[in-house]
Amino acid sequence: MSRRFARLAVLSAVLLPLPALAQGEAPAASPSDAAASGLITPSIPSVPKIFLPDLGIAGDLAYERSSLPKTDPRWRASDQQPRLRDGQIIAYSPIDPYTNAQLSVDLPEDGVANVEEAWLYFDKLPWGLAARVGKFKPVFGLLDETDTFQLPMLDRPRAVADFLGDGLNATGAQLGFYVPNPWGWNLKADLAASRGDTLGSARATTDLAYLATLDYSGDFLTAGSVEAGVSAAQGPSPYGRSEELENPYLKLQYAPSQRRVWTWSVEGMFAQRRGLGRDDARNSAWTFLDYNFALRYHAGLLVDYVQVPGALPTAYPGTFPDAFTGAPSAGRSLSVAPNFTWFVSDNMRLRAQFTHTTPLGAERPDETGSLQATFSLGNLKQLD
């Protein structure tokens, strides 16, 4: 009898606390814990946090018809067909309050996908510094950080595209900071050091490319803004031994009302490429006037002046082959391109552009009509 009683006592000691534990009660609960309702789920150290970046998709479609004959070296059959010129998939996310990250995959017309950008951005470093590390579009001039589908014209002006391609892409580091000055100006500097192929060189080299931009921004009159600055770059060249680029720019915006906004941009390019003889120095410039009326409609006019280089040595095949395509001899080229843009929505627009290229050198005159559609899905890289 005593053994049976002992067994019942042990069994009762084990089973009686179970109802209380099933209701989430703890023997040593604090007042705050007692006030909380529901189940408490502790963190599991072996399961990592889920990383969910913001995603964006962008694209650019174009259809062009040129007056050039097929015998002209500038004529390309692919340009005469509807084509998806540029597509992008962008993933962006803050990592913590001090660091952001982005990964962009470019889907060019030829269908070969590549990583266009993969960087970390530290925006709260000591002394007001900010740094970008990885593969990125560096700060350079007015358009270098602008993708094709964001441009206010059909193509990047040839005055800069001949030297920067479809925008520079640097692998390295960039440091940005505001420059103290006694006038209280909003003056910002960006300095970058990157791999030797940043300026387009395809040759194996251990040399680095260096870029610098000094930018001023402020108010213009009572209803506008001004941005002015100069960028410079030095490094291995796709043609010749090395090159130096100087790139002054100015952008004025005047908005007398929300429905009427004038924007005027002008940018120069002064290039010195070593080892090309008489073609060492090249000077080019472009200007664009944009009038935004009735909120979603833009009328623009591009004037693009280019010094066309002559025949270049084949020993330096660069990664910007279009820069010197169709230049049988040295000369000058002037293009005038009016366009009209309709923003169907914040993320989609349609554009019509007519481009007339005046033969100031040995090139033939060219007249091209173009239709363009661009789109941006998600909350990244909105259309300008």
What is d(CA 255, CA 258) in angstroms, rounded to the nearest whole number? 7
Domain that holds residue 262: 20-378
Is 7 inside a domain boundary? no
What is the pLDDT, as a whole number, of residue 333? 86
Residue 366 has pLDDT above 50, yes or no: yes
* Cα dihedral: 20, 26, 29, 31 (round 10): -30
- Cut 0.85: pTM above it: no
Structural domain includes residue 339: yes
* Dihedral sign (CA 194, 196, 202, 206): negative
Inter-CA distances, 59 with 107, 161, 337, Å: 9, 20, 22
Asked if the model's pLDDT at residue 95 lies above 50, the reply is: yes
Place of tokens 């279009």: 322
11 lies in some domain: no
| Residue 12: inside a domain | no
- Of the candidates 148, 149, 236, the one whose C-alpha atom is nearest the C-alpha of residue 196 is 236
Residue 37: per-residue pLDDT: 44
Residue 6 falls within a domain, yes or no? no
Q: Is 222 inside any structural domain? A: yes
Is residue 9 domain-resident? no
Would residue 153 count as lying in a domain?
yes
Mean of all residue pLDDT scores within the chain: 81
Give the list of residues 6+ apart from residue 234 with CB closer than 8 angstroms, or none: 209, 210, 242, 243, 244, 245
Question: CA geometry: angle at 156 spanning 155 and 161, to 5°?
Answer: 130
What average pLDDT does range 111-136 have in this prediction?
A: 92
Radius of gyration of the chain from Cα atoms?
30
CATH of the domain at 103: 2.40.160.10
Q: Specify the number of domains making up the chain.
A: 1
